[in-house]
């Protein structure tokens, strides 16, 4: 597997260093070295890129602003001289961040994490062709495999979703409810509220237009979803 990369940094020495690191790493391929965000945008519009090494602090359009401006973006590893930016990287679901000055060992660890991510993604795609019983979601710099049957319900939280399962603590992932809803099998999952998708096979109690999980979680059925949910109830009513 070859991961196609670009580097983005306004410091010439840092830009050259990252390019050299990529060239000496067998599973990485350097597509371009960009001295700024606008040069990177031009490359992204013309070439296929899998991974970007992006300096957060750049004049004009910062690395963070660049990432937020892209509708469809490659995966990201941030480079920065400021450790406090790690939390910003988490907010945009970056794979990792590297703290300057960067040594090759640290670079290789981050690159290997990216390789593991892409290899897992490829395996997930193969599994998806043969078996739809699992879902892979990106959470906290890694891919998490979740068995569909283990999902109780999914809660929307602005840019994030929280996937509640029967096996452990919820899994948080940066994605929209709409995109997740489209990937779930409609015969098993139904959106019943602007903020909730439920696993129909996990429902045991319904009370006054509310779905009850574990006697503690009460999920309301929104007005625009009531008709479809009622059809489901009537289909299974004795």
Query: What sign for the dihedral angle of Cα 157, 141, 181, 236?
Result: negative
Query: What sign for the dihedral angle of Cα 17, 23, 27, 30?
Result: positive
Please report the pLDDT score of residue 87 as a whole number: 54
Of residues 93 and 226, the one with the higher pLDDT is 226
Please report the pLDDT score of residue 125 as a whole number: 59
Q: How far apart are CA 146 and CA 175, in angstroms?
A: 15
Q: How far apart are CA 84 and CA 74, in angstroms?
A: 23
Is pLDDT of 89 > 70?
no
Q: Tell me the pLDDT tens digit for each residue of 121-159.
A: 777 656 544 445 888 888 877 788 888 988 999 999 888
- What average pLDDT score do residues 91-109 get? 88
Domains of the chain: 3-125 (3.40.50.2300), 133-235 (2.40.50.1020)
Q: Tell me which H or E stretch contains 174.
A: strand 171-174
pTM as predicted: 0.60
Q: How far apart are CA 147 and CA 161, in angstroms?
A: 16
Is pLDDT of 193 > 90?
yes
Please report the pLDDT score of residue 9 as a whole number: 95
| Inter-residue contact 79 to 100 (CB < 8 Å) | yes
Neighbouring residues of 112: CB distance < 8 A, sequence distance ≥ 6? none
């Amino acid at each position: 597997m070859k991961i196609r990369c670009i580097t983005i940094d306004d410091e010439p020495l840092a830009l050259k260093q990252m390019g050299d690191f990529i060239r000496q790493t067998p599973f990485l391929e350097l597509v371009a070295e960009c001295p700024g965000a606008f040069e990177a945008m031009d490359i992204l519009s013309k070439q296929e890129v899998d991974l970007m090494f992006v300096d957060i602090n750049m004049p004009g359009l910062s690395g963070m602003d660049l990432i937020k401006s892209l509708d469809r973006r490659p995966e990201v590893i941030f480079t920065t001289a400021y450790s406090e930016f790690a939390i910003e990287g988490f907010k945009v679901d970056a794979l990792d961040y590297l703290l300057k000055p960067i040594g090759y060992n640290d670079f290789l660890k981050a690159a290997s994490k990216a390789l593991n991510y892409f290899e897992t993604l490829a395996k997930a795609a193969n599994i998806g062709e043969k078996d739809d019983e699992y879902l892979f979601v990106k959470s906290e710099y890694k891919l998490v495999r979740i068995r569909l049957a283990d999902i109780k319900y999914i809660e929307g939280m602005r840019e994030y979703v929280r996937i509640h399962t029967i096996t452990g603590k919820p899994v948080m992932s940066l994605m929209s409810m709409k995109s997740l809803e489209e990937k779930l099998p409609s015969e098993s999952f139904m959106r019943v509220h602007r903020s909730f998708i439920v696993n129909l096979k996990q429902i045991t109690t319904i009370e006054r237009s509310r779905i009850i999980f574990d006697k503690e979680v009460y999920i309301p059925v929104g007005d625009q979803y009531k008709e479809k949910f009622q059809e489901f109830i009537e289909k299974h009513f004795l």
